[in-house]
Structure 1
Amino acid sequence: MGVSHSENTPYRGRFAPSPTGPLHFGSLITAVASYCEAKSRYGKWFVRIEDTDIPRIYPGSETHILQCLDAFEFEIDGQIFFQKDRLHIYNDVLHKLQQKNYIYACQCTRKMLGSNAIYQGTCKTLDLALENQAIRVKVNDQPIEFIDALQGNQTANLAHELGDFVLKRRDGIINYQLAVVVDDYLQDITHVVRGADLLDNTARQIWLGQLLGYPPLKYMHLPLAMNDQGQKLSKQNMAQALDPSNASQLLQQALIALKQPFVELDRPTIMLQQAISQWQKDLIPKQNTLPDIYL
């Protein structure tokens, strides 16, 4: 339903943290891998702050993200996007989906849905007004297949595994799935490098992109850094915030975690230049979690 990026299309990657907490070591692994992959292919690397879930924004986390990007001396192409400034764009896209009858209003609450993981289409035929209701997108009973550069062949059937899913919440918050698809398209992103915890989001995003006629993207989902409890490093698990004053040592640790050739301690910009020059994505562990513990 959309045109494809050709093999000659210039590489455009991105790093898209959410300011629901400070950046941690897992975030750094994603930033370093996405940066080196883009720059080693003479591509562009963009930064987008994914802050549509405004009530969950953690005070000071946006400032910490920007401080870290500066301390690690990443060369960012173009301006930094903030999704909270782009809500009108996402609502315009919802209007286009409505015109094509791809979405509908849903009045179901979490209590009404209970523990059902798959939405049964309860509100699909009710023709409710979209105002002050959740908005769901219709899915088809068909396989969605893609090849992940690290995780291999992937197949999902949204109708069997999820059902029609929410694009806008009842409280007006734009869902991550919609915002990320629209922004990747508007920024001409060609490749997405991110953590394996987002692998199961990919089929939803591919489906949305198909409905909107966007060109397909290429994906690489990185193994996750774990804590000593066997949990992925995350804001919810109180992962330690990155210390910008320790950027060089942390950068070296991130490259070691990615199993890349050794880089001597130096200024981050020098280290990144060396990392790019000897970058080998095939050395990254092809699994969902990294074998070592990173606190």
Structure 2
Amino acid sequence: MLDIVIPARTADITPGFSVKRILPYQLRRMVGPFIFVDHGGPVDMSTSAASTLDVLPHPHIGLSTVSYLFSGEVTHRDSLGVEQVIKPGEVNWMTAGKGIAHSERFEDPAIRAGGKLEMIQTWVALPEMDEEADPSFKNFTADQLPVFTDTGVWMRLIAGDAFGLKSEVPTNSPLFYLHVVLDQGSRFGIPTGYAERGVYIAKGSLTVNGINYTAGQLLVFSKGVDPVIVAAEHSTLMMLGGEHLGDRYIWWNFVSSRKERIEQAKEDWKQGRIILPPNDNEEFIPLPNINSRPAGGPPPNALS
């Protein structure tokens, strides 16, 4: 029934700001086109230096970054000149394509004064034909995203198609991405019709086929299996998946179907060929001094 259960690991984003990293995982690098998932927070901003949480301008290629907040506010700035504050329930969908730089800063005075910050960021790999597309950015407010409610169930469709709903967020390949909240004892399924599907438990716990799973785990289900999920307590889930795009390489913030393209992106960032956000260009994250080769390619045999 389950391909794999992936535990979240701790990863440092900036000094003093750690996240739960779910993907990529050594034994499972992708679920559908989703190649990266981070769960940040909840962080009590009253006890944190907000400036230390800022993510300075940094580059991406070959993917779309998808930011979604449970609480707090984040200001996005990018190479296109976009400046966008994202609030809970909204979506920032930035497609890097051939190259873009962006920053994420925590500037809201109310949040700095004692609010909570909690967010999910995912990366969606692009089909090969779109890897060198022009970069773009779009924000979608909460009221632009479909919502479904039933007894003990609340669900927002962030992107794609699921359960008869369709999001207006444009995507480059078939996928689904859902925010689901279940009351204790509520039963729910997962979207059908996709080759790869996963359920991340952001809060609470679930029972599937009599086995209990807890917060911080990503459950990846076999194709054709349609499990019944039972909330063991009040729970918040992120459901994601879609069609497999083929193997991808990943190094730092770069994703590509070709190793040599990642090497080019490294040099482009070092030489300043990926421009900084025009309204946030005084500082940036330099290319890491990492000698490792791009990870990825054909998955290991231990996947199944």
Shorter-chain TM-score range: under 0.3
Q: Which has the larger radius of gyration?
A: 1
TM-score, normalization by structure 2: 0.26
Between 1 and 2, higher relative CO (CA 8 Å, sep ≥ 6) is seen in: 1
Indicate the structure with greater helix content: 1
Bigger share in strand: 2
TM-score (norm 1): 0.27
